[in-house]
Amino acid sequence: RKTRVAVVFGGRSSEHEVSCQSAKSVLPHLDAERFEVVPVGITPQGQWALGTDPNALEAGAGNLPTLRDRSDLTPVEPGQALRDVDVVFPLLHGAWGEDGTIQGLLELGGLPYVGPGVFASAAAMDKIFAKKLLQAEGLDVGRFVALDRTAATLTLDEREHLGLPVFVKPSRAGSSVGITKVSDWADLDDAIFEARRHDPKVIIEAAVPNVREIELAVLEFPDGRVEASLPAELRPVGGGAEWYDFNAKYVDDSYEADIPAKLDDDVTDRLRETAVRAFRALDCQGLSRVDFFLTEQNELIVNELNTMPGFTPISMYPKAWEATGIDYGTLLTTLIETAIARGSGLR
């Protein structure tokens, strides 16, 4: 029989709608000759439901599809939803999905799944821990200060160390949700308050001046080979927008992409090498999108890793692979085959 693939989408995080959007694209592109798809939705309240077609969803926040306010869903327990499934594609972004939690559930159930395991997922989701691990590997992650659950604000020494402007971020979030760029210390505490609405742990980073934003897609193949795609660059259109916020990502057209990025060959080579190093530094498996800042001096700063990046055909991860020679359908098949080859258990 065909391989039964559960595509789990939606979820409890602030990126619920982004996940529904990803699922909308992934489902119809899975190879129907080989895979039988079982769509599994998770509502924003955390209710699992079978038989939800992401293509039939209504628009919610940012005009993106949502499972919010749906009364027609058939609720199921997770174990029931995943019964008789061969492999799981946890197409969830953010907390309770991209952070090791569902990966833990799948490990307990002995089910293979697409993407990194429990530790790598949790480490990449937490910007503070990710930076510590990347630093230990000798990678440049830029200047930052971690505000733990108890620290109210930055000390004067920390302000001096970072300088202005700074980016204030929830340690564990995504899609730029909860992030503020602060150019005046008088606005710092409001920005910390905003970040803490999403996570009690906050990271404050020095803004990289005149930054170029470069993203690479890292993929593990079924034979264990790990490769980085060609780099993609995100640019504000006409230099208008200041940074790549939620609206720029999903709502307006203030950013455009160069895929591949226009870079000297030696910079491209360094990016591809460093992306794989960062992937390994966090013990990733399957896939990750590695986001870089390229400085005016062509220095590479690793901003972050996303272990389940956006997955529409126009999202950066699939686009970068397309430009490197792997089309969307083949990419999805590769991800699932790698998950099956890895199997379940400690490995």
Neighbours of 242 (CB within 10 A): 13
For ligand ATP, which is the closer residue by CB, 303 or 312? 303
- State which H helix or E strand residue 279 sits in: helix 265-281
Q: Does 215 bind Mg ion (CB under 5 A)?
A: no
Structure tokens at 260: 């591949």
Q: Does 244 bind ligand ATP (CB under 6 A)?
A: yes
Shortest Å distance, C-beta 61 to ligand ATP: 15
Residue list 326-345, contact with ligand ATP (CB under 6 A): none
Neighbours of 223 (CB within 10 A): 8
Q: Does 318 bind Mg ion (CB under 5 A)?
A: no
With beta carbons less than 8 A apart as the criterion, state whether 247 and 197 touch: no
d(CA 152, CA 83): 46
Structure tokens at 105: 């559930």
d(CA 37, CA 17): 20
For ligand ATP, which is the closer residue by CB, 11 or 39? 11
Pattern of binders to Mg ion over 93-122, x per CB under 5 A? ------------------------------
Instruction: Enumerate the active-site residues.
Output: 15, 175, 250, 289, 291, 304, 306, 310
Altogether, the residues listed in the chain come to a count of: 347
Shortest Å distance, C-beta 123 to ligand ATP: 14
- State which H helix or E strand residue 50 sits in: strand 48-50
Pattern of binders to ligand ATP over 132-161, x per CB under 6 A? ----------x-------------------
User: How many chain residues touch ligand ATP (CB under 6 A)?
Assistant: 20
Q: Does 243 bind ligand ATP (CB under 6 A)?
A: yes
In sequence order, what are the residues at sequence separation of 6 or more whose Cβ sits closer than 8 angstroms to the Cβ of residue 265?
A: none
Nearest alpha carbon to residue 88 among 68, 104, 65, 76:
104
Pick the stretch among 45-53, 76-84, 190-198, 208-216 that binds ligand ATP (CB under 6 A).
208-216
Give helix then strand counts, H and E, for the chain.
Answer: 11, 15
Neighbours of 146 (CB within 10 A): 16
Q: Among 101, 121, 229, 306, which residue interacts with Mg ion (rule: CB under 5 A)?
A: 306
Nearest alpha carbon to residue 342 among 229, 228, 225, 227:
225
**Burial state string for 246-267 with b = 16 or more CB within 10 A and e = fewer than 16:** bebbbeeebbebebbbebeeeb
For ligand ATP, which is the closer residue by CB, 236 or 329? 236
Q: Does 304 bind ligand ATP (CB under 6 A)?
A: yes
Q: Among 199, 220, 291, 322, which residue interacts with Mg ion (rule: CB under 5 A)?
A: 291
In sequence order, what are the residues at sequence separation of 6 or more whose Cβ sits closer than 8 angstroms to the Cβ of residue 89?
A: 5, 6, 7, 8, 26, 113, 114, 335, 336, 339
Binding partner at 207 among ligand ATP, Mg ion, none, C-beta below 5 to 8 Å by kind: ligand ATP
For ligand ATP, which is the closer residue by CB, 128 or 226? 128
Q: Does 170 bind Mg ion (CB under 5 A)?
A: no
Q: Among 3, 176, 295, 330, which residue interacts with ligand ATP (rule: CB under 6 A)?
A: 176
Q: Among 22, 43, 175, 180, which residue interacts with ligand ATP (rule: CB under 6 A)?
A: 175
d(CA 294, CA 307): 21
Specify the 3-state DSSP secondary structure of 77: coil
Binding partner at 208 among ligand ATP, Mg ion, none, C-beta below 5 to 8 Å by kind: ligand ATP
Q: Does 98 bind ligand ATP (CB under 6 A)?
A: no
Task: Summarize as ranges the residues that interact with Mg ion (CB under 5 A).
Answer: 174, 291, 304, 306
Task: Summarize as ranges the residues that interact with ligand ATP (CB under 6 A).
Answer: 142, 167, 169, 173-176, 179, 205, 207-208, 211, 213, 243-244, 291, 293, 303-304, 306
